[in-house]
Amino acid sequence: MEILAFGVQADEKPMIERAFAGHHDVRCLDVFLTEDTAPIAAGYEIISTSVNAILDHRVLQTLAAGGTQMIAQRSTGFNNIDLEVAERLGLTVARVSSYSPYSVAEFAWTLALAVNRRIVRASNRTRDFDFRLDGLMGRDLRGRTAGVVGTGKIGEAFARIAHGFGMRLLGWDIAENPACAELGMEYVDKDRLLAEADLVSLHVPLLPATHHLLDAAALKSMKDDAILVNSSRGGLVDTEALVTELRAGRFAGVGLDVYEAEAGLFFLDKSLAGIEDDTLARLVTFPHVVVTSHQAYYTEDAVGQIIDTTVQNVLDYTAGRRGENVLVPRPAA
C-alpha cells in the first residue's frame, strides 16, 4: 500500500521514507492539505497530514469520496479536524499523543531569553557593524516570577528550566502536577497568575474552553513589563487585543511561535507574495516582539518520535488494531 503524506518539510522527507521502509511505500508532498489540494488524495486509502492541514467538512467529504479511509495526523493537536464529520463519514483518525516535551519547552525559553535580552535586535545591529548597547538592556530572571499556564509534560519541562534559573513558580491548570509542586510551584487562579507573573508561558491545548484564553481583559491584567511566550496554539491569544496592548507600550517582550491565523502562512515562503494579514504585519514591526513559524517541536528527537508514532498508527490500522492514539475509531464491519 502507498501512503500519501501532505505538508512534508524537506528535513522530514528522508526521515519519513526511512521510517516507512519495509512497511509501506510513502509519497511525500510539500503542499498542505486544503480544499484545493484534497483531490490529490483520490485513490489513497491512508493519508498523513501536518498540524496546519485544514480538515473541515468539505475537505473530509472530498477525502471520503476519493476513497480515503484513514487519516494519520503528525501532531498532538487536532483542533484542525472536524471529528464529528470524520466519524459520520467513516474515516479513522489518529494523532501523535505525545513526543519530546523538551523540544517545545526549550524553544519557549529560547523565545523568552531572546526577547528579554534583545537578541534579534542586537544581531541585526552587529550585522551592520553597529555595536552600541542602547535599547538592549534586559533583566535578571533569578528571583522573578514565572507563570506557567498548563502544567502537563511541556509545562513541567518549562517549569524545571525556570526553577534552574531560580525563579518563583506559579501554575494554573485543571489538575495539579505533583512534579511541579515538588519544584515549589504554587497553583493559583488564572487572574492571580497573570497579575503577578513577570514571565507568562502558555502550554495548554486549544479547545473551545481555551480559545482566546488571553483575551483583552486578561492581557490588560498582566504587568506592564511582563514577558509573554506562546509556543502552544495561536488561538489561545486574542492577537488583535495583543496588538492593541503593544501599541500602548505594554510588555517587555513577546515571543510567539504560533499565530491564530497561521494556516496558509506558516511553513510557506511568502517573501515575494507579501502578507495580506494586517494584524500579523503589524505584530512583527514591534522591536520587542519575536515571531517564529511554529518550529518549537522541530528537533530531530521530536520529529523522529512523531514519525515513528505515525508509522505505528498506520500499522495498527492495517492490522485492525485500535491504538492509543486513535481519535475516531475504524467503523465496525
Active-site residue list: 233, 262, 294
Distance CA 160, CA 211 (A): 26
Is the CA virtual torsion 72, 77, 78, 80 positive or negative? negative
Spatial CA neighbour of 47 closest among 266, 85, 34? 34
Burial pattern 93-103, b for ≥16 Cβ within 10 A else e, equals: bbbbeebbbbb
C-alpha cell at 267: 511553513
Distance CA 224, CA 8 (A): 40
